[in-house]
Chains A and B, each alone.
Chain A
Amino acid sequence: MTDEPLIYTSRGNLPIASLQYAVRWEDAADYLKLVETYTLDGEVVRESAHVYTKRGLLAEPVAESF
């Protein structure tokens, strides 16, 4: 018996081979995002997103002069 790899989806565990896999990148000034999508007959059954923050927030205190 051969074990078929399954993946957790919104429709339960499905054979990964039965799904269409796509990735999308979003490159913005402050972050880089990778979105992974698995679809079954056009329906999105699993979607993950991974954000890499390129840089955070900068706060500059104001010092008054005399």
Chain B
Amino acid sequence: MELPNGEIDTSPIVDFCRAVVSRHAESWPPKEETLAEEFVQWLGLKPFSTRDQLIGLCLTKKVTVSFVELPLELRGFNCSFENRTEIVIAQRETVPGADLHTLLHEFRELLENAFVELGYTTLGADDFLEVQAEHFAMSARMAIITTEIPAFARFVQNAEARWARYLGYGVLGFLGIMYLLSCVFMPQLEEIESEVKRQRYIRT
């Protein structure tokens, strides 16, 4: 993108999208899961990152992320103008993992803007960006944990006592399943959580 002062914008997001296009141009668009995996690798996302870690990570890609008080129905917001890109996420505490889900959702919308700019939209006539972004967020959270599973498994494997290994595998399996369920059902979990809060509010 050309800036008003004549400089060319070297947005990392556009660069990433350009690379995705070059890899998948022949079978465009790539599957949402593939795009999510490549994105996770590109951004270097790790499981259980803190808000500060997420802010720092996004800043390396020239995306300013902030957590602020937002109107009740607004979970996240993204915008870009010239060479500035911002993502704002609701500060209120919700379901664990919801912050990351919203961040990924907002990133998917930013990616689509870049794909459109490059002339390679990923959306078909019947597709909705909101739906694709939710799918992307879910896939990306799954990709984050699946890349880390071998490291966790190696850690458990190194335990000396047999009982410790069994216990480790048990805990690892349980946490893994819980995490994957939270990826798939995040929108529903958020709904339940906000419904519980509303009921509490109505009662008071």
Do A and B pair up? The answer is: no
